Amino acid sequence: MTTFESEYINFNQRLFTLRNLSFLIEFLIYSSLIIFFNLSKFYTIIIELFLLAICCFIIISRSKTNVDLITFQENRIILNGETFNTKWIKSIDIKETYIQIKSIGSRKGLRGAVFYLEIKNKNDNYIINSFETYSDEGIVEIFSEFKKFKDEKIIIDEKLIILRIQEKIEKCQ
């Protein structure tokens, strides 16, 4: 049995992040362009409110779920997390699950890159480290442990991302 734990972040901490704030500010800047078209004040207000509702929906759906504890047992992965502020535990069969290691680039270069895992099952999808609660070493360990339990080899694309993570660990710490 192998367990990986991250720091706990409640829903308010996940909702009020700089990433969500910057998304909202960018939305407000771009949506102000609608005012310049000046169709009519009524239609402009309706369109602005509709777009603001979409923006809020995106921010809330992006912030609602967090996985903070991952346990590997025999042929199962046990995920502990929460949706909004309601805790849940999911037990997933490893044989029916697929994992991808991904990265989000940054203008800061490798130092600002964020690496995360996407666990896909036929019923559900989970994103691990969407709020940067796991360390880069932890992401590599979780990925390697998953591959070991599933008896899969790490392919070249995945090795390249792991090498980028190791390079970030060596250069930026």
Same domain, 98 and 45: no
Query: pLDDT digits over 122-152, tens only?
Result: 888 888 888 888 888 888 999 998 988 888 8
Same domain, 81 and 162: yes
Backbone angles phi, psi at 66, to 5 degrees: -140, 135
Same domain, 96 and 142: yes
pLDDT at site 168 = 84
Q: Which CATH number is 155's domain given?
A: 2.30.29
- Report residue 49 as tokens: 């409110």
At 151, is the secondary structure helix, strand, or coil?
coil
Same domain, 133 and 163: yes
Same domain, 98 and 54: no
Same domain, 79 and 52: no
Same domain, 53 and 93: no
Same domain, 39 and 74: no
**Does position 166 have pLDDT exceeding 70, yes or no?**
yes
Q: How many domains does the chain have?
A: 2
* Residue closest to 87 by CA, chosen among 139, 15, 142, 11: 11
- Report residue 45 as tokens: 């207000």
Same domain, 167 and 100: yes
- By residue range, what is the domain housing residue 94? 2-6+69-172
Same domain, 45 and 82: no
Q: Provide the β-strand partners of residue 71.
A: 3, 78
Query: pLDDT digits over 3-49, tens only?
Result: 888 888 888 888 888 888 888 888 888 777 766 666 667 777 787 78
